[in-house]
Structure 1
Amino acid sequence: MQELHDLNDEDLRGLAPETVAALAHQMLQRLRRQDGEIKFKDAKIEKITFQLARLKAWKFGAKTEAMNAEQKRLFEETLAEDEANLQAQLEQARGQASTPPATDGDNNKRKPRRQPLPDHLRRVEHHHEPDDTNCPSPGCGKPMKRVGEDVSERLDIVPAEFFVHRHIYGKWACRCCQCLVQEAAPPQIIDGGMPATGLVVHTMISRFVDHVPYYRQEAINARSGVHTPRSTLASWSGRGGAALEPLFVAQKRFVLSTRVLHADETPVAMLDPGAGKTKRAYVWAYARGAFDAVPGVVYDFCLGRGSQYPIAFLGADDDPNGRRGWSGTLVRDEYKAYEHVMAAEPGRVAAGCLAHARRKFDELLRDNGKSAVATEALQRIARIYRIERELATLTNKERLARRTAVAQPLWEELHKWLRLERARVHDGSATAKALNYSLNAWKALTRNLLDGEVNVDNNHCENLIRPWALGRKAWLFAGSELAGQRAAIVMSLVQSAKINGHDPHAYLNDVLTRLPTHLNSRIDELLPHNWQRRLKAA
């Protein structure tokens, strides 16, 4: 049967009334169906548009300050996934080609901008040319001339590829002298073993930088048909960690050569096989000053949080071996154990952490949202931090001069206000405790006003100890004290490599390749900060 819209007036006159009625009924049903499809599509578009609007309201109106760092990161990642998904659905509903999500006005600032792809990446070129390069215009057909090109780049990845190094050692013999000559095998981190240095490094980086447990590495390697039991992977890391011990000793010596040192600690669970459960151990972090031109960090895995552990690490005046202990300015929080650490060496000076003092008022405000004292304290501390951000790029001498001129009056006003408010509140109250923290630590908190090399807080060290907090969520616990100490060795070097601007895999691979033949008297050449200078010199 013909379609009604295909017929003209003459065709309609020649049709029977019953046929015209059937065609009209058919067209009416089609129009109703199309109308229903349009309404359904409009409803779907309206629903998706509403979801996108609500998503943006969540994105830009959410109280992210109420989230911890991990929750905030997960929240942002989920929003990005949801927004891209809804945008794709909206484009499909509208019949549009896939395009990046549109942004409006100031929201552009919140979107990460696409960065140029790094030059060092391998490029695989795909050339796209017309099948026919003759002019398509009617009556022409002449050969066309290439006048330019457009280039677009897309980032791709090939999963980790296992390959085998075949070392073939030729044997050379003298028939006269019955002498056999063969090149000696170069020393390796694991002599006579299956893994090359690159595989050992990959295993260690996966474990200590990417925090991938050995059982997951075993499963990942199995996808490539390579059988690497977790016990074998752990053994490789153990051998690699042992090879790095001399370098760790040199790194510790370098970090403790600074005049301003940051210290902090964080708990790590350690397996206690005898008790059939885990017990709490600690990782202590020691970092060179926040304004130090050459950064560095070193970790110490300890069974407890007592003062004996940092005292042993830093050394003491009465050391039985006659070693001179570290002396200088120690930036730390007000944990009581540090009092004994400071007293262990006469030349040590305490510097406080303004971030910890601020945190007391922030906690007070969260517990009691109407605390005028907490609100005022946070505002006063914020003024000091605004000045400190402006001073970050100055020299130590310039920074001290600016602090004296601009920041010191704010500190003096803050001290006067703290004492006045403390006199107004009852002992034992939450407000009194927050005020007491700053007042009792005032001398250490204001140490930065006497030394331009000292930072106002200990956030520098807290940031460097954060990888341990991330790692313990992945591998849950250290298997033993020795395993914890080995992790501290590796983490000290790879984290120092990162803050010196190195790729930790490239650094560790080069170091472990060279260590078997490297002179111990020149071990400092392989430290992260010197490795950078060596590359520059080359």
Structure 2
Amino acid sequence: MARSTSNSLLQRELLDTIKELRAVIEDLRKELAASKERERLLQEQIEGMNRRFFGRSSEKHMVQSEGQLDFFNEVELEADKQQEEEFPYEAEPELLPGKGEQKRKPRTPRKEMFKGLAVEEEIIDLPEDQRICTECGAELELIGQRIVRETLKYVPARLTVVRTIARVYGCPKCKEEDNAHIVNAETPDALIPHSYASESVVSRAMYQKFANAVPLYRQEKDWEQMGAFLSRGTLGRWIKICSDEYFAPLYEYFHRLLVKRQFAMADETRIQVLKEPERNPETDSFMWLFRSGEDGLPPLILYRYTETRAKFNAVEFLKGFKGYLMTDGYQGYNNLPDIIREACWAHIRRYFCDAIPTGKKDDLSEPAVQGVQYCDRLFAIERYCREQCYTYEKRYEFRKKKAPQILLAFWAWLEKQHPVKGSRMAKAVTYALNQKPYAENYLQDGRCSLSNNPSENSIRPFTVGRKNWLFCDTPGGAHASATVYTMVEMAKAHGLNVEKYLTFLLQKRPHAGMTDEELEKLAPWSEEARVFCGFAQQIAFT
């Protein structure tokens, strides 16, 4: 009896031990699975960082292949065959990742490459002692010439001191009667009183920093090589004074024009300003980019510096604007008064591109690849519109005819995705779903854009420059930088020589007392500005 009781107790102990071990094993399995998932997410992050720092910056990594539409749901697959022949859903080559055949950009003819440059002829003549015919001894005569080659010649810049001398006239007769009458020649005002600054020097410094991203400390060395010691402090002071005095009135005019438009775009990026009141030097401030949309009117591009990224900054700048605003996913643009927000499909697509595992870019079973494919079909519609729909009304009609079925399929597909929490695919799905309320607003008007790429292209010069000069010293300097960047990007957008346009503005010296009609004559689309910059022909805006 005692042995039976002992065996029963031992059996229960063994069963309890087995139960405990099974629980431990289950916990270890869960811990191992969690560890593997963390490892996978970390590996995904490493791959993403490698792509970011060492991979191609372009998103071209994928091409269409046979059967690629198989994953689209029946809503799309049952589309009218005749319409598909009429409009092939090709991938957008400018936006697609990957290999694939790309049309090589046609080579620019030499005449076009050097159009507008002065031509200096170098005549190679036959020496006089060789102008005798070796057959009969008669003197040779010139019968023609041939162009052997054309080469580019660089003429180094040089500095000269311009000494302005005003002549003084007096009446000799009045002088004899002790009633001297003296007349001074009227002299133009200095660009900056009591300084050596000229329009050409200041515009050069602006052009180098804001168009070529050359910091002032590097420019300081260049000026010294040319024979003038201009410290970075002096150059910075000249730029700020000219920006505040002469560019600010034109900037405000451009701002007034922008808020009267119906289509606008916005983007923002970080900037470090060292001497902001009551803020640490390491605190992030922001440079905003506001520009007009792709509405066929002359483009307007404005930078704006603010201490924070708070929503009220966008509200304040866009006060009076009523229309469509294309932005990225920043929530500060949500629910702005009188504004219909548009989501950027390039951003949505980019999230799916980032979620594609290494080596899986052509694997159509990958959900991230499928997400990119959906976006590509929308961009293919835009490509067709640019090439075939020559009016905004036709673009509107074609979009309404083709895009809704793709969008319907995309949202349905998106709802079925259940990616691992914290993964790049999860971020892509969440981002796309968050943008859904704004993602179809571009269908409301043919002048709306599908992506915010124009804004990103306009703000890119600032981000490139920031890598070189790193920070601004004061808020005043940051405001001045925003104003000069505005003038530089406006000149670029209108096809003008940037340095010449800056010189033009410094010579004209806009001021607060000017009317809008007077400021209009200084805009980069004005005939006077275009003639001064050597580009009088008009360009089309799309």
TM-score, normalized by length of structure 1?
0.73
Letter in 2 for 1:268: I
Deviations 1:35-82 (A, max 9, x none): xxxxxxxxxxxxxxxxxxxxxxxxxxxxxx9866997699xxxxxxxx
Structure 1 counterpart of 2:171: 174
Q: Does 1:225 align with 2:227?
A: yes
Q: Corresponding residue for 1:360?
A: 351
Structure 2 residue aligned with 1:395: 391
* Aligned positions of 1:18-33 closer than 5 A: none
Which amino acid letter does the alignment assign opposite residue 232 of structure 2?
R
State yes or no: 1:501 paired with 2:498.
no
Go from structure 1 to structure 2 and tell me whether the alpha carbon gap of 1:368 and 1:148 turns closer, same or farther (over 3 Å shift).
closer
Q: 1:289·1:454 contact (CA, 8 Å) conserved in 2?
A: yes
- Counterpart of 2:195, as a letter, is G
8 Å Cα contact 1:364/1:431 also seen in 2: yes
Answer yes or no: is the 8 Å Cα contact 1:264–1:461 preserved in 2: yes
| Residues 1:497 and 1:154: Cα distance change in structure 2 (over 3 Å) | same
Q: Distance in 2 between matches of 1:108 and 1:364?
A: 28
User: Of 428, 432, 435, which aligns to 1:434?
Assistant: 428
User: What is the root-mean-square deviation in Å for CA atoms of aligned residues?
Assistant: 3.1
Match of 2:300 in 1: 296
Q: Structure 2: which amino acid aligns with 1:378?
A: V
Higher relative contact order (CA 8 A, sep 6+): 2
Deviations 1:139-165 (A, max 9, x none): 555424423322522111122211222
Partner residue of 2:504? 510
Tell me which amino acid in the other structure corresponds to 2:122. H
Cα distance, 1:166 vs structure 2? 2.9
Q: Deviations over 1:489-514 (max 9, x none)?
A: 11111111110111111111111111
C-alpha displacement of 1:221: 0.9
How far apart are residue 236 of structure 1 and its match?
1.1
Amino acid at match of 1:300: R
Distance (Å, rounded) in 2 between the aligned partners of 1:357 and 1:517: 43
Aligned to 1:115: 110
How many residue pairs get aligned? The number is 428
Q: In the alignment, which residue of structure 2 is the partner of 1:205? A: 207
Structure-2 change in CA distance of 1:391 and 1:66 (3 Å): farther
2:374 matched to 1:380? yes
| Alignment partner, residue 312 of structure 1 | 316
Contact 1:187 1:517 in 2 (8 A): no
The whole-number CA distance in structure 2 between the counterparts of 1:310 and 1:518 is: 24
Q: Are 2:330 and 1:327 aligned?
A: no
* Gap change, CA 1:281 and 1:164, over 3 Å in 2: same
Give the distance between the partners of 1:475 and 1:416, measured in 2 at CA. 47
Give the superposition deviation at 1:305. 1.5
Structure 2 residue 415 is matched with structure 1 residue 415: no
Residue 509 of structure 1 aligns to a residue whose secondary structure is: helix
Alpha carbons 2:510, 2:519 under 8 Å: kept: no
- Residue 284 of structure 1, aligned match among 248, 269, 288: 288
Per-residue CA deviation, residues 388-417 of structure 1 (Å, 9 max, x unaligned), is 022136322111011122333322332332
Q: Does 1:449 align with 2:443?
A: yes
C-alpha change, 1:408 and 1:310, in structure 2 (3 Å) is: same
How far residue 112 of structure 1 moved from its aligned partner, in angstroms, is 5.4
Aligned partners of 1:305, 1:140: CA distance in 2, in Å? 87
Greater shift, 357-366 or 387-396, is seen at 387-396
Q: Which residue of 2 aligns with 1:6?
A: none
- The residue correspondences of 1:29-68 to structure 2 (distance < 5 A) are none
Amino acid corresponding to residue 326 of structure 1 in structure 2: F
Identity of aligned residues (%): 25
Alignment CA distance shift 1:107-1:148 (3 Å): farther
Deviation for aligned residue 1:524 = 2.9
Cα distance, 1:329–1:137 mapped onto 2, change above 3 Å = same
Contact 1:261 1:288 in 2 (8 A): yes
Q: Is contact 2:266–2:291 with CA below 8 Å preserved after alignment?
A: yes
Deviation of residue 481 (structure 1)? 1.2
Distance 1:474 1:430 in 2: 31
Could you state the TM-score of these two structures normalised by the residue count of structure 2? 0.72
For residue 528 of structure 1, give the secondary structure of its aligned residue in structure 2. coil
Which whole-Å CA distance do the structure 2 matches of 1:492 and 1:73 have between them?
26
Which range moved further: 428-437 or 206-215?
Answer: 428-437
Match for residue 262 of structure 2?
259
2:146 equivalent among 146, 149, 167: 149
User: Cα distance 1:303–1:222, how it changes in 2: closer, same or farther (>3 A)?
Assistant: same
Partner of 2:93: none
1:45-194 matches, within 5 Å, as 109=104, 113=108, 115-116=110-111, 117-131=113-127, 132-175=129-172, 176=174, 177-194=179-196
Contact 1:355–1:458 under 8 Å retained in 2? yes
Residues 449 and 110 of structure 1: CA distance in aligned 2, closer, same or farther (over 3 Å): closer
The answer on whether the counterparts of 1:188 and 1:516 sit within 8 Å (CA) in structure 2 is no
Cα distance in 2 for partners of 1:534, 1:123 equals 22
Q: Unaligned 5+ residue runs, structure 2?
A: 1-48, 59-100
Distance 1:514 1:399 in 2: 41
Alignment CA distance shift 1:69-1:447 (3 Å): farther
Where does the alignment leave 5 or more consecutive residues of structure 1 unmatched?
1-64, 75-105, 316-324
Give the Cα–Cα distance (whole angstroms) in 2 for the partners of residues 187 and 127 of structure 1.
46
Q: Residues 223, 151 of structure 1: CA spacing in aligned structure 2 closer, same or farther, 3 A cutoff?
A: same
Change (3 A) 1:246 1:516: closer
Letter in 2 for 1:154: T
- For residues 430 and 119 of structure 1, what CA distance do their matches in structure 2 show? 49
Of 271, 274, 287, the residue aligned with 2:274 is 271
CA contact (8 A) 1:189 1:516 kept: no
Question: Which string of whole-angstrom CA distances, capped at 9 and with x for unpartnered residues, describes residues 402-453 of structure 1?
Answer: 112233332233233223x33x556666434422322332231111111111
Letter in 2 for 1:309: N
**Which secondary structure state, in structure 2, belongs to the residue aligned with residue 351 of structure 1?**
strand
Identify the residue that residue 18 of structure 2 maps to in structure 1.
Answer: none
Contact 1:361 1:434 in 2 (8 A): yes
Alpha-carbon distance, 1:213 to partner: 1.4
Deviation at 1:279, TM superposition (A): 2.7
State how far apart, in whole Å, the 2-side matches of 1:107 and 1:151 are. 35
In structure 2, C-alpha distance between the alignment counterparts of 1:215 and 1:353, rounded to whole Å: 38
CA pair 251-108 structure 1, distance change in 2 beyond 3 A: closer
Alignment partners' CA distance in 2, 1:519 and 1:531: 22
